[in-house]
Amino acid sequence: MPERGLVGALNSALNRSPSLAFAAGSGTVAVLSHAGRSASVFESDGSYLLSFHGNGRQQGHGHANEIRSAADAARRWVEGSGLEQLAETHSFVEFSGLQLAYERGNAREFQWAAVLSAVEDDAQSFRDLVILASRDHLLRQLFPHLGHRFALSADEYSDGVLVTVFAYRPGWFVIYNDGDDDGFEFEGDAPQMISHLVNRLQDQIAR
């Protein structure tokens, strides 16, 4: 469906909401925006891919078979429907536990719990590092990331990372600041590593 055709068809499906209107977004995407929220719709082989945004990030997504369902889900989202409520009305709407936590305002707490659960089977030195970080008053206020490393951001809305730590073997860590290409090697156990992180970050956080 051509871009203008998609926008027009979606707007025709919004006959109950004359104050709202889809507009052309980038590429062939149609966007509905209202009160700091937006929903994007992309037509693909006769079905409709949706992306729901709020607070500067994607909050959920969906795949509708009918254009009226896509338009209605977009309308409900931008008018303030919650993720769970939206999914009850349109079963094609999907979201992660973290996305729901962002909506509820407890993303940091959710992420710490998820990180702690994820390291249960990791090597002890790495597991101890994450557990001790979660118990430290300063570090617990930051937003954790996990992958092959442990990283901390200033908060749940920050795109940058304050520090990244790799635990290569017991007693040997490598630390990277945001933007650093060369890491700093640190020898010591997990409690010593935590003390080093606290000393390293408290001035950064204060600024």
In this prediction, residues 22-33 reach a mean pLDDT of: 92
- First and final C-alpha spacing in the chain: 51
Please, what is the average pLDDT of the chain?
92
**Average confidence (pLDDT) over 62-85:** 97
What is the rounded CA–CA span in Å between residue 46 and residue 161?
40
Same domain, 41 and 125: no
Is the same domain home to 111 and 199? yes
Final residue of a structural domain among 65, 82, 104? 104
- Interval 72-90 mean pLDDT: 97
Extract the tokens encoding 20. 């709202």
Nearest to 120 by CA among 134, 109, 106: 134
pLDDT at 17: 65
Q: What was the pLDDT predicted at 202?
A: 87
Say if residue 100 is in the same domain as residue 165. Answer: no
What is the per-residue pLDDT across 44-73, written as a single tens digit (0 to 9) for each? Answer: 998 999 999 998 899 999 999 999 999 999
What's the average model confidence in pLDDT over 159-164? 92
Its domain, for residue 93, covers 3-104
- Answer for the pair 70, 48: CB distance below 8 angstroms, yes or no: yes
* Domain final residue pick, 69, 104, 139: 104
- Crossing angle (nearest 10°) for helices 107-118 and 97-104: 150
- The mean per-residue pLDDT over the stretch 153-166 comes to 93
Query: In this structure, are 164 and 192 located in the same domain?
Result: yes
Tell me, yes or no, whether 65 and 116 share the same domain.
Answer: no
Q: How far apart are CA 28 and CA 193, in angstroms?
A: 49
d(CA 144, CA 115): 7
Contact 47, 1 (CB under 8 A): no
177-201 residue pLDDT tens: 877 778 899 999 999 999 999 998 9
User: CA-CA distance, 203 to 177, in Å (whole number)?
Assistant: 14
Decide if pLDDT at 15 tops 90: no
| pLDDT of the residue at 3 | 47
Report pLDDT digits (tens) over 87-145: 999 999 999 999 999 999 999 999 999 999 999 988 888 999 999 999 999 999 999 99
179 and 99 part of one domain: no
Whether 91 and 155 map to the same domain: the answer is no
Structure tokens at 177: 């600041």
Same-domain check for residues 150 and 171: yes
Same domain, residue pair 77 and 137: no
Cα separation values, 80 from 14, 75, 100, 149, Å: 16, 9, 14, 37
Number of domains composing the chain? 2
Using an 8 Å Cβ cutoff, are 17 and 8 in contact? Answer: no
pTM of this structure = 0.86
The residue to which tokens 């203008």 are assigned: 4
∠ CA 5-33-58 to the nearest 5 degrees?
105
Same domain as 117, residue 197: yes
